[in-house]
Structure formats: structure tokens, C-alpha cells
A and B are shown apart, each in its own frame.
Chain A
């Protein structure tokens, strides 16, 4: 009885890891690649056990958020194939039954939903924290009420039209003014004296043509 129990224990101890290893395949899970040094350069942190724990916790958080409160834990995230690249494969087991895997599509949707949170947790971006097979949702284009180019266009167009109108109006006014002064001149052609000023007189007294000269009578 005791030997049966020991054998069973040994078998369990050996099998459980292999079971979890058997669960963790790239077909059932996702491969993750982190490019920490590329993203952070000098401020890059070292990838170690604690960081891996943090990652598992973040994934558990993502699963919890997506499933609406199901109690995913760090132990539900199985990781394997770790490399120096800092890449690994992970699978998610169900919290109710640790030998059953959560379907890939669910995991994908969960990650897509919390992608931004996962990225910020590790100070990385969509390009430097790469879930192979999960394309990042691209940022929505900014919608403007009025396209900004139209505003700039409107401003310049307004100024130009105002300039043209101002020029044309000033030319027109100048023409009218010079035409008016030309008309006034027309009326007084001659030696520049207006008719009005000599209307009442017989003529202008011209000193140069005075007849009597007291001195020259010889």
C-alpha cells in the first residue's frame, strides 16, 4: 500500500510538470518577444524572475478584466521556451480546471483589450512588446469637425480677397477723384483764373499797358 502510494506520488510529481509542459505549446498559446534594450536604451531593466512574475500577473489581470471577474491567478499562466532574446511562450489555464486551456481566441481578445495597460506596465510599445500573431489595434485617426487645412485656406483667402477689394476700391476712388479735379480744371482753362472770379468785372487791369506816361513826352 505504502509503495503504491509512493509510486503514485512520484508519478504525480513527475507527471505534473510534464503535464504543464505538455500544455504549454505555441499552437495553444502565444509567443511573446520583448525588446527592452531597443525601447529603453540606457534605462533598460534586467529581465529576471521578478519581471517574469510581473508579466504573469499582468496577463492574469488582462484575463480577469476580459472575463469579467473570473479569478485568474499567476499560477494560471504557464510559461515555457524562455530564451536570451527575452522571448517565451505562454498559455492560460482555466482557474476552475488547471489542466484545461483557455481557447486562443479568448486570450487574444483579452490581450487586445488590455494591450495598452500591458505595454505601459513594462514601459514598452506595440512594436517592442510583440505578441506574435496578435496584431496591434492601430490608433484611430483623429476626426476633426472642420479639416484644419480648410481653416488655414479660409484665412489666407479672406486676406487676399480683402486685399484685392481694397486695391480695386482705392483705384476706383482715385480715378473718380482725379476725374473730378480734371473736370474742375476743364472749367477754368486759360491762364488758370476761374471764370467766377472775373464774372462781375469788365476785365483785369494790366499795368503793363497803361497809356499815359508822364515822363516820355518829348
Chain B
């Protein structure tokens, strides 16, 4: 076997199935589980499907198709591919790589949290089900008493969160270990490039569905689950008139498919020249959206269970209050006739009712269902609260966090591949470093920087990166991509390339989308984001206030505070946060 020839030929997927599963594994990630159900709830339940599906067909699938086409045609990572299209566009590829780098830095921290929760599920009593007791065992810890045990476990024991982004605190050793493990696993999966990735995606793409089906069956059989599902699917059509609904639908499709990071280009570059990526693009996009809808059914049945549980606990508390205050026999007050009793007692003994008025709560199922949560709050607080009340909670906990891990790891594979593929395309690097060494160095670099997210203020940095780091630049990148392909490279040439690969020209539908509709949509999204950014002022984040034991909206302040000094490093970092989204754009323009 000729070893020099081996080095020249590009590695490829063992079969097209691996490529499809890799794309599915990358696209189906945590956002499908924690962002889509929230949007569904905020924008009118079943009615949200309409803008969502419209955006999928108008924006999502055409852009996905385009990225796959470019990757498969150029057979290079994002930097090489865009440089090949036009020498002035090398910056576009670099911007993609930088954005992927940002994502790699903070995304694996979520996997570290999932590992932490997963390992803590192997206990007789789940640690987030009860508050810890104080030193003389008379009461629970105050911070936990005011918040809930699940919130306490997340903010205090997992993150050991400080009060603001300025207070750094030390590194949380347990989380740092979990982050190390997460990066070792990523390295294990990508160490041999697509050869190892291709085998891993069989598992990471399919097992989450197994867990989702199990959870669906468990979820809909829970007491009160149908309340949640009914709530979700009752469409509130008036939300369709709200422009925010359409903007959120477009943004969700955009980010859910992972466009603009260069991962899709990287994955497609390992395909055979004649791979039928058109069908694959449609398949993967539909699977991604289908998974979002499927996951939101599961989420809403869990919501329904939790809301019903809280509602019934509230009623039980009221029943006890009435019984104890008025010395009523136990079987006279039921949870059904509480309101009757209150009105009756208000009439007969108003002074006593007034005395306990501060403790009387109005229990409402709708109010419980209305509490919409997204993001890490949903995944780690709401879900774990629901799980702790299920029978055989440890089993469900292990399954759930294992699923979160697989979803997160699958997306990480794409993110890291988006960085190493362009790097490997540089001949200098490819010849001086072996595959394993280069991959190891990238992982090590991301790991070391990632330790910053395991400090006490790490969650705030995470929020900053998550909300402001990539969103803005990605829109710009993809807008430039579509404009380049449609106008600079030329639609005719692109059509010919596709005919070359697939044996047929793309439909008129695709052409209209690429030339007109998608760019217009992206421009309007981009304008909206700029307006929002200008109006919004300083970036804000939810800070955990230890005294009030609640999250409060806090602004990043660059001024000096009376009680703490901001070190130079922090100042630089805070400025960097503001510039985060702008750096790739600057690179783009400079190159």
C-alpha cells in the first residue's frame, strides 16, 4: 500500500448513511429540547407550527441544501471552500471557524453539567429532591428553604454561583473534572477524523430517539400530563399577527439547523462526488423539525405533570390551613370544596379569615402552566423537579441526562469538525502534525479556555456567549454566503455544479429561494437584530441574588462599583463580550 497516496486522498464516510446520521446528530441538539417548546408556548401553541413550517421550507431547507452543495463540490473545509469560490472570501471561512470556536468553548460546559447531574443520579435519594439541613438539624438551609431544592442544587451545589459577573470566585473542581471528561470524550470521538466520527454517530443520532419515545410513553401516562399537552396544542391564532412570532420562527429554524458554522460544509466535504445530497438535505431538515415537535410533546406532558402536581400541592396546603385554623374535621374539607368553604367562612367568621389572609393562596392550574421556561433553566431545573416526583426517579434521571449528553455530544462533533477540517486543509499543518496530534491540540486549547466557564461566575459568561456571541455574526455570515453563491459565484455556475454532482439541475423552487426569498428574509432578520441591539443598551443577564434567592435582571456595568473593584482582566473580558459578535464580522471585512 502506498502511504504517500493515502495522505493525498481525502478520508470519506464509509457510507452515505453515516453522513446523514452525522448531520442529524449535529442538527438535533439541545435547542430542539429546550428552545422550541418555549417558543411554542410563548407564541400560541399549535398555531406556532404555521410560521415554523413556512420558515422551514422557505429559509431552512434551501440554505441547508446550499451549504451541503458547497461542501460536497469543493471538498474542502469552510476556509478552503470559500477561498475557492472567490479569493476575497477567505474571511468568510475564517469567520465561520471563529464562530465555531466560540461555540466549542461554551457548549461543552453544558455537557459538563449534564455529566454532573448524571453522576449525581446514582444515589438512593436524588440530591435535588430535598434541601440540606442546617448544622443543628432544626431546619433546612435558608437559601434552599426560600428557593426550591432543585434551584438550590443547580445554582448553589452545581454552579456555586456568585452574585454577578464581576465576582469571579474559584473554579468548581467537580465541574472542571466533568468538563475534562467531556473534552476527552469529544477527543475520543474525533481522534481519527471521519473514520471515528462516522462510527460514533450511529449511536449519538439514534439513541436520543429511543429515550424520547420512552419518555413520551412515561410522560403521557403521568397524572396531569394531558393538561400540559392540551395547553400546548390549543392554538392561539392571534399570536400569528405578532411579528415577533415570525421572527422567532425564522431565528429558530436558522439556529436549529446549525447553518453558518461551517460544520455542514465540513461534513459534506467528506462525501463522494456523486452523493445525492438533495434528498439528504430535505430528510435531515424534516427530521430536525419533527424532532422539535416530538420533543415539545414530551416537554409539555412533563410541564402538565409538574403544573398539576404544584396545583394539587397548593390546594392541599389550603385545605390544611383551613382545617387547622377552624378546627374542621378532616373529611369535611376536600380539595374540591375549598373555595366553597372560604366563601362560607368569610361570611360567618370574617375576622379569622382576615387573620390568615396573608397565607391564603389562589391555586390556579393555568398560572402554573403559564410559567414558560427555556434554556438551561428548563433542562436542569424544571425537568429535574418533575423527575424527582416520578416513581423510580433515579432511572428516569439517568435516562434523561444521558439523552441530554448524547444530544450535546452529537452537536459538539459537528462543532469540532468545523474547526479541524479547515485546519487540516492547510498543507503545512497537515504535514507537520499527525491527525491525532492536531485534534488533540484543538481539544486541549478549548478545554483550557473552557475552564473559565467552570468558575463561580461561569454561568454568566455562558449566558453572554450563548446570547450575544454567535447570533449576530451567524446571520451576517449566512447572508454573505447566500449572496455570494447567488450573485458573485453565479447561480448558473452553481446549477451546473449541482448537475455535475447529482445528474440533474435544481428545481425552479430552489432557485427562487436562493436568489430572492432567503436573502430578503435574512436581511430583514439582520436589520431586526441590529435595531434590537441598538435599542437594548448594555447586555443584560439574569443574576442569582443570594439574599432574595431569585434571579434578577442585571446589566453589565463597566463603571466602578463602591463595594468591589473591577480588575483589568475583567474589564478586558467584559469589553471582549461586547465585541464577541463583532470580531468575526471584522475579520470578514478585513480579509
Contact = CB atoms under 8 A, between A and B. Distances in A.
Interface of A: 33, 35-38, 83-87, 135, 137-142, 148-153, 156-157, 160-161, 163-164, 167-168, 171, 178-179, 181-182
Contact of A167 (B124, B192, B320, B324): B192
B324 A135 contact: no
B323 A85 contact: yes
B188 A164 contact: yes
Contacts of B1: 178, 181-182
B178 interface: yes
B436 A160 contact: no
Given A142-B124, A152-B118, A167-B196, 11 more contacts: A84-B327, A138-B133, A141-B132, A148-B119, A149-B119, A149-B174, A151-B122, A152-B119, A156-B181, A157-B184, A164-B187
A86 B116 CA distance: 46
Given A140-B137, A167-B191, A149 B181 contact: no
A178 B3 contact: yes
B328 A84 contact: yes
A85 B138 contact: no
Contacts of A87: 324, 327
A141 B133 contact: yes
28 contacts: A37-B330, A37-B331, A83-B327, A84-B329, A85-B323, A85-B324, A86-B329, A87-B324, A87-B327, A135-B138, A135-B139, A139-B133, A140-B133, A141-B132, A142-B124, A148-B119, A148-B123, A149-B116, A149-B120, A149-B174, A152-B119, A153-B178, A153-B181, A157-B181, A164-B184, A167-B192, A168-B191, A182-B3
A2 B188 CA distance: 106
A38 B315 CA distance: 13
B150 to A, nearest CB: 17
Contacts of B133: 138-141
A138 B122 contact: no
A178 B123 CA distance: 49
Contacts of A181: 1
Interface of B: 1-3, 115-116, 118-120, 122-125, 132-133, 137-140, 174, 177-178, 181, 184-185, 187-188, 191-192, 196, 320, 323-324, 327-331, 436
A148 B120 CA distance: 7
Contacts of A83: 327
A28 B323 CA distance: 23
Contacts of A137: 137-138
A167 B188 contact: yes
A89 to B, nearest CB: 12
A163 B188 contact: yes
Given A137-B137, A137-B138, A179 B196 contact: no
Contact of B330 (A35, A148, A163): A35
Contacts of A167: 188, 191-192, 196
Given A164-B184, A167-B192, A168-B436, A138 B138 contact: yes
Contacts of A140: 133, 137
B420 to A, nearest CB: 16
A153 B327 contact: no
B139 A138 contact: yes
A30 to B, nearest CB: 14
Nearest to B116: A149
Contacts of A152: 118-119, 122
B122 A85 contact: no
A112 B317 CA distance: 25
A47 B117 CA distance: 46
Contacts of A138: 133, 137-140
A181 B2 CA distance: 10
A148 B116 CA distance: 11
Q: Which of A84, A85, A171, A182 has the most CB of B within 10 A?
A: A85
A160 B330 contact: no
B185 to A, nearest CB: 6
Contacts of B139: 135, 138
A176 to B, nearest CB: 12
Contacts of A179: 3
A137 B331 CA distance: 29
A203 to B, nearest CB: 28
Contacts of B184: 157, 160-161, 164
Contact of B122 (A86, A148, A157): A148
Nearest to A161: B184
Contacts of A84: 327-329
Contact of B191 (A33, A148, A150, A164): A164
A148 B394 CA distance: 13
